[in-house]
Amino acid sequence: MKKKVLALSLTGLMSLGAVTSVSLPAYAVGEGPNYGGNESIQTSILHTYEEMVDYLKTQEAKQSAMELEVIGKTVKGRDIHLVKYISNPSNPTILFLTQQHGNEQLTTEGALEFIKHLGTNKTKGVLENVNILILPMLNADGAMGDVNFSLEDYVADGGRHLTRYNAVEVDLNRDHVEKAQPETQALHENVFKKYKIDYMIDLHHQGTQSERDGKLVSGSILYPTNPNVAPEVLENSKKLGAVVFNAVDSTGWGHLGKYVGGTGENIGRNGAAVQYGISTLLFEMRGMSDHYYESYALGQKSNGYLIKQTITTLDAAVRAIADGSIENQDISFWDSLAEQTTRPSSEEESE
Ligand SMILES: [Zn+2]
């Protein structure tokens, strides 16, 4: 076994300044342990929906630049929250969306850390030049396992199970044309249509067994691939991808592949680009918080670097938009970035 113990360099840690309180594992990328049946996956270490709401309200009270808005309710009546930093309506605006799939929670954990990060001096100049919208845990019912179907096969322990689907077993990331679900309706009516959004990163988790160039990946990325996406929207999506790729790849522990995804407009990455001209990026992090397939779930010792990968991504995106450097990104890396493949004996579920 090739082991890259402590590949997280000190300089890498220092560059994140305010967010070093995230506990970091002594594992890099694919070397983090898989769930092997002898390690428990504790969902109790994740924020519950209620804990997340308390956290957001605490941050809103502390941060003058932050505003919290309820944009709708889930099937089971949970308020869906949007975090807003809007200093100047004419600034470019980016939306970070997490947990359309309820069992993909470390992206939310990273987004919550990032919100705290935005309240520190580290990002003082940044917020004057970019508007940030963060929608954490869109699928709160799935995240809390409060659904109208059985989750008894799911592998995690910790008082709740987390599932991909919403309460009525609909995949929200296939509902962006029909918009039949209250969660999707809230996102479209009260976010996509209400704000002039230039960029979006849609954050997900994939299985644990994807690799690129023979090495397990820490995640994968993809721009919108529907044929009706306008050329400039596609180009800016690829630039956003370049910002994220360079930031994660340069950490030493990040290793990204190109995601292999569908062209359907019902997928958020494509639907937002076609319907609203938003330049989008799908980011799939390694490993899910819970699943009925053991190979999809990732042991909790890997949580630290995946949370950090989310923070790195969000931080790099807002800085590149704020200082305009996103405009000058070289998108040619996309032509050489290999599509990830899945190691034999495991199946993959898509975005
Ligand atoms: Zn997903």
* Domain that includes residue 29, residue range: 10-340
Question: Is 64 part of a structural domain of the chain?
Answer: yes
Region of poorest pLDDT, from 214-228, 264-278, 335-349: 335-349
CA of 122 to the centre of ligand 1 (A): 30
The alpha carbon dihedral of 244, 165, 110, 54 has a sign of positive
Residue 197 lies in a domain: yes
89 phi, psi to nearest 5 deg: -55, -25
Q: What is the pLDDT of residues 49-62, one digit of tens each?
A: 999 999 999 999 99
Residue 345 lies in a domain: no
Confidence check: pLDDT of 26 > 60: no
pLDDT band at 346 (very low <50, low <70, confident <90, very high): low
Q: Is residue 46 part of a domain?
A: yes
Count other Cβ atoms within 10 Å, centred on residue 332.
10
CA angle 306, 297, 286 (to 5 degrees): 35
Cα 297 to ligand 1 centre (Å):
13
pLDDT digits 0-9 by tens, 152-207: 888 887 789 999 999 999 999 999 999 999 999 999 999 999 999 999 999 999 98
Sorting pLDDT into bands at 50, 70 and 90, what band is 293?
Answer: confident
CB atoms within 10 A of CB 126: 18
Is-catalytic flag, 113?
no
Q: Has residue 74 been placed in a domain?
A: yes
Number of separate domains in the chain: 1
Residue 280 lies in a domain: yes
pLDDT on residue 348: 63
Using alpha carbons, select from 289, 331, 1 the residue that is nearest to residue 139: 289
Residues 90-145 pLDDT 10s:
999 999 999 999 999 999 999 999 999 999 988 878 999 999 999 999 999 999 99
What CATH code is carried by the domain that includes residue 31?
A: 3.40.630.10
| List 31, 104, 265, 284, catalytic entry | 284
Rounded distance from Cα 323 to ligand 1 centre (Å): 30
Instruction: Note whether residue 57 is domain-resident.
Output: yes
* Distinct helix (H) and strand (E) counts, the chain: 9, 11
Q: Is residue 169 part of a domain?
A: yes
